Amino acid sequence: MMHTVSNTLVSLDEIRRAAAKLRGIAVRTPLLPSDALETLCGVPVFLKPEMLQRGGAFKFRGAYWYVSQLSPAERAKGLVAPSSGNHGGAVALAAKLYGVPATVVMPTTASRAKREGAERLGARVVFEGTTTAERMARAREICEREGATLVPPYDDATIIAGQGTIGLEIGEDLPDVGMVLVAVGGGGLSAGIAAAVKQLAPAVRVIAVEPEGSPKLSRAREAGEPVTIASNPNGLADGLLAVRVGALNFEHHQSFVDDVVTVPDAALPRAMRFLLDRHKLVAEPSGAIAVAAILEGIVKPLPRTVCVLSGGNVEWDGLEALLSGVEDSQQGNGTRGAR
């Protein structure tokens, strides 16, 4: 696989510039060794817990870097974020830090944790449909009517560079990393992490993980270009239910991602419970999907594998409902599969 960077792909220098801006503002999340996963798999496995990031998810990195690159006049007009939840909370936080107004366009199915999280940060929350396209159309309409500035959720080079700072930290904290597992929704997180990791160490395997109910990257790789899947995908991983991977993100995936796997919904609560019981980490379903891929035997980890836990924005009622059917002794199904 080629790892040269074309003019359209985010460079390591761009990711480093984002990291410099985020230093002291975003949390540099730790790389935690997972003794529990090492016991199951027989190789060292590490967790990158982005639920410890400001706003409870990785999204703050890209949102703040993007907002910081706007002119004061553009920021002052107000920010608008189409979002399933976490991007909206991240933009709301960035807007609060800059002292400017924010509007978040969420789906009508948004979780209470994500809705109230944005509202607590001072954002106005507007509801529109259930798909990415519906939210984006409403966000653009608000921008046109109010003169506000759109902050895109994932298909943008600046956003990709911000999210790529996670990959930069992984490479710095674990120079001999062997594999990275990362969730994919619209693809900004996976594009950024893959770009950083592969440009630092081309031999590292990067595996994208998506829910079975929304296999947009799998379908795109089969077709050789982004394709739109079912207009209203269902699933527990609400942050990963985009119907189409971003075009720029897909370019990064084609250059830097080695494989993509899908995980069934039933595996997500088991992984959430595993992370809670063994590591005292609260992950939302989207945030647990990388670990689920290992527990279910879908991916066989290499020595020094890193699982990126993308977020933990789930309220108590939702967490209790998701975990109520998971057995106390749940430890996954080993590593019966391989990739």
Tokens of 145: 């009517």
Task: List Cβ neighbours of 190 (8 Å cut-off, separation of 6 or more).
Answer: 182, 183, 184, 206, 208, 217, 249, 252, 253, 257
Catalytic residue among 84, 218, 255, 310: 310
CA distances from 216 to 21, 114, 207, 284 (A): 32, 23, 15, 20
- Contact (Cβ atoms closer than 8 angstroms) between residue 162 and residue 66: yes
Q: What is the DSSP letter of 23?
A: B
Q: Is 59 a catalytic residue?
A: yes
The amino acid occupying position 140 is R
Catalytic residue among 21, 34, 48, 59: 59
Interatomic CA distance for residues 306 and 26, integer angstroms: 20
Interatomic CA distance for residues 216 and 218, integer angstroms: 6
E-state strands within the chain: 32-33, 45-49, 79-82, 102-106, 124-127, 149-150, 179-183, 205-211, 259-263, 305-309
Task: List Cβ neighbours of 114 (8 Å cut-off, separation of 6 or more).
Answer: 84, 85, 86, 88, 89, 106, 313
- Contact (Cβ atoms closer than 8 angstroms) between residue 114 and residue 84: yes
| Buried b or exposed e, range 81-111, using 16+ CB within 10 angstroms | bbbbbbbbbbbbbbbeebebbbbbbbbeebb
> How far is Cα of residue 266 from the mean position of the Cα atoms in its chain?
20
Q: Is 310 a catalytic residue?
A: yes
DSSP 42-76: SS-EEEEEGGGSGGGBTHHHHHHHHHHTS-HHHHH
Catalytic residues: 59, 310
